Structure 1
Amino acid sequence: MPTTASNTTATSSATATRTSSATRSTRTTADPESTATRLAKALRTGPFSLALRLAVRQSGLSLDRLQSHLHSRGTPASKTALSYWQHGHTRPERPESLLAVSTLEEILGLDPEALTSLLGPRRPRGRWLHHRSGTLPPDRAWARPDGLARALAHLDARPEFLHHLSRVASHLTISVDADRRLHSITHHHLLRAERDTDRYLVAFRSDHPTGPLQLPESRGCRPGRQRADDTTGFRVLELLLDRPLRAGELTVLDYTVLPGRLPDAEHTVRIGQAVRDLSVQVQFAPGNLPARVVRGYRRSVGEPDTVAELWVGASRTAQLTAVDPAPGIYRVRWDWS
């Protein structure tokens, strides 16, 4: 909260008055710079409430003026709502509230999505009330986030676009062929739109890129554009939804990716935002079982894995499963000797 100096204490000392005035002048001069620095950091790291509060402070606008500006632009929000958003008591989740936040970004002179990108998924309700919270930003999820940013830029997108659809449930089946190469990855996702959108962006990375990804089949979507950053091995795939989604709507997507028979001996899944459940099944070809399969988890790329062995069952399948998984990096790795 902004603080103001008390004006209730009077003094008859001219020296004290001059000193007090000088102090107030110094504070007035220093505060905008301090606020700007804190705002820049909050816009990078959050939380939303702090970023909004600092942006409002820097603008010099009262809640009355903000409310008036929002109303005149057709995206009204009450003073109570604005106050609650600033102090973290509530956060905007309904479509009309998200539109008001987008308008606030313009009124406050911020970049588009500077505030909305900090909101993350909707707060869990009902049976999901105790779901783990948190996010995994790109600079903690990937060793070379600059490559991801460049690949996304070719699609006129930024890293936060990856979260316009959040995963409620995510199930993957990895197929490893008789030549010990990663043959296909089948995805089954239950997704929720965090804002109005008509596409889903998916990021892939391999140390052995072999060219464009192939999608032989899909349901709920169809392949769109595909862009790569060859230096870092990133490839971003655009999936066009069967129908546009409004914020809060759910959809199911099924699609199979053929990555080009990669020699990779692992598959990694990054959970950037809260997910109800996650499963990764790796199925091996008959007569070609690995000597060992392990699962790993780490909170970010800069931390070591927590590792545990996985059993390969009669169906030649190893499974990583998690309910309410914490945001982080999940990995299944197999060794042939």
Structure 2
Amino acid sequence: MGLETGIRRYTDAFAGSLRDAINARGLTLAKLHELLRARGNSVSMATLSYWRSGARRPEGAQSMAALGDIEQLLHLAPGSLTGLLGTTNRTGPLGPIQFPLDEEELEQAVKDAYTALGAEYPDTTRELTTHSVTDVDASGNVAYSITRSILQATVGTVTSTPFLEISPGISTPPPIIRAVSGGRISAHYSHPNGEVHGVLFEFDAPLTAPATAMVEWSVEYPAGYPPQRETGHAMARQCRELLVWTRFHPDALPDRIEERVETPAGVTTTELSLEGRGSVHQVRRAFGPGALGVSWSYADGR
């Protein structure tokens, strides 16, 4: 079976099952769209129509999250629709792999974390799509973040992957890292230098290359944690899409925001503006290896 034929078969099976499930629940597409919006999922009516007809198939983290909500709303078993999408029979070009930050001591600390967690370094999964959302509290400091990714096994079969929190040059206590969906936390680690903390995230099911999994995890910073006025996401391989969304408390809108992009080609910084909004978002496609983030400050010296 050719690749395009295989994808078409999976898409047709998915579209047929979605139509049957919508009809079985007696819902209109407009009502399903309304229910999704109530859950904070902004998938459009046109997109839902394309999925139902088979003209398009869900792709990307936001679409896969919407699909999870649809399975719940239609009273379907988890994975009953996503499992019909199938995968391609190859991983595609992997591109170079490189530690995303230009700091040898920090990379060694990361290697120590991988070893302690029983993980292979470098990681044998890659991020296809990642959406990272950070909330800033009324004091102007990072309070909470949640990250949603589509991960792909690049070789063999993998059962877990480390998720790390890194604070270069700043020793911190361990943040609270939780598994939201797609797996569970099976081990924790904190490096003696306090700059690297992490967990081992066990997938709900093993991934055999080139299979993918949707995962979601959150990080909360407890009382007494050093003030943080920067956030971002780093990756060792190229990602199809990276979104970093930073949301500020209404009482802590910054006076200055600076974007920082670090890649093998160097570091660039650019001043950003809220432009009347309460948040700033950064989007990069075909990004990595590297790191994308923002920092902010206040004129009143808080």
Under TM normalisation by the shorter chain, which class is it? 0.5 to 0.7
Paired position in structure 1 for 2:260: 296
| C-alpha spacing 1:152/1:217, structure 2 compared with 1 (3 Å) | closer
Per-residue deviation, 1:306: 1.0
Q: Does 1:274 align with 2:235?
A: no
Q: Does 1:165 align with 2:149?
A: no
| C-alpha spacing 1:151/1:133, structure 2 compared with 1 (3 Å) | closer
Per-residue deviation, 1:225: 0.7
Tell me how far apart the structure 1 counterparts of residues 178 and 196 of structure 2 sit (CA, whole Å).
Answer: 20
Per-residue deviation, 1:310: 2.0
Decide which of 250, 258, 266 is 1:286's aligned counterpart.
250
Aligned residues: 206
Give CA deviations for 1:11-37 in whole Å, capped at 9, x if unaligned.
Answer: xxxxxxxxxxxxxxxxxxxxxxxxxxx
Paired position in structure 2 for 1:196: 157
Rg larger in structure: 1
| C-alpha spacing 1:173/1:142, structure 2 compared with 1 (3 Å) | farther
CA RMSD of aligned residues (A): 2.4
Amino acid at match of 1:196: T
> What is the aligned-residue identity percentage?
18
Per-residue deviation, 1:242: 1.0
| C-alpha spacing 1:310/1:139, structure 2 compared with 1 (3 Å) | closer
| C-alpha spacing 1:231/1:316, structure 2 compared with 1 (3 Å) | same
Tell me how far apart the structure 2 counterparts of residues 166 and 136 of structure 1 sit (CA, whole Å).
Answer: 12
Is this contact kept in 2: 1:208–1:264, CA < 8 A?
A: no
Is this contact kept in 1: 2:179–2:185, CA < 8 A?
A: no
Per-residue deviation, 1:212: 2.8
Give CA deviations for 1:283-309 in whole Å, capped at 9, x if unaligned.
Answer: 111121111112121224xx7521122
Tell me how far apart the structure 1 counterparts of residues 128 and 136 of structure 2 sit (CA, whole Å).
Answer: 27
Is this contact kept in 2: 1:133–1:326, CA < 8 A?
A: no
More strand by share: 2
Amino acid at match of 2:158: T
Is this contact kept in 2: 1:148–1:159, CA < 8 A?
A: no
Amino acid at match of 2:150: L
| C-alpha spacing 1:315/1:243, structure 2 compared with 1 (3 Å) | farther
Amino acid at match of 2:257: V
| C-alpha spacing 1:180/1:143, structure 2 compared with 1 (3 Å) | farther
Q: Does 1:311 align with 2:269?
A: no
Tell me how far apart the structure 1 counterparts of residues 153 and 296 of structure 2 sit (CA, whole Å).
Answer: 34
TM, length-normalised to structure 2: 0.62
User: Unaligned 5+ residue runs, structure 2?
Assistant: 1-89
| C-alpha spacing 1:138/1:266, structure 2 compared with 1 (3 Å) | closer
| C-alpha spacing 1:284/1:292, structure 2 compared with 1 (3 Å) | same
Is this contact kept in 1: 2:91–2:209, CA < 8 A?
A: no
Paired position in structure 2 for 1:36: none
Between 1 and 2, higher relative CO (CA 8 Å, sep ≥ 6) is seen in 2
Tell me how far apart the structure 2 counterparts of residues 138 and 308 of structure 1 sit (CA, whole Å).
Answer: 19
More helix by share: 1
| C-alpha spacing 1:122/1:217, structure 2 compared with 1 (3 Å) | closer
Tell me how far apart the structure 1 counterparts of residues 114 and 257 of structure 2 sit (CA, whole Å).
Answer: 33
Please show how residues 158-307 of structure 1 align to structure 2 within 5 Å: 158-160=120-122, 163-194=123-154, 195-206=156-167, 207-216=169-178, 218-260=180-222, 261-300=225-264, 305-307=267-269
TM, length-normalised to structure 1: 0.56
| C-alpha spacing 1:236/1:215, structure 2 compared with 1 (3 Å) | closer
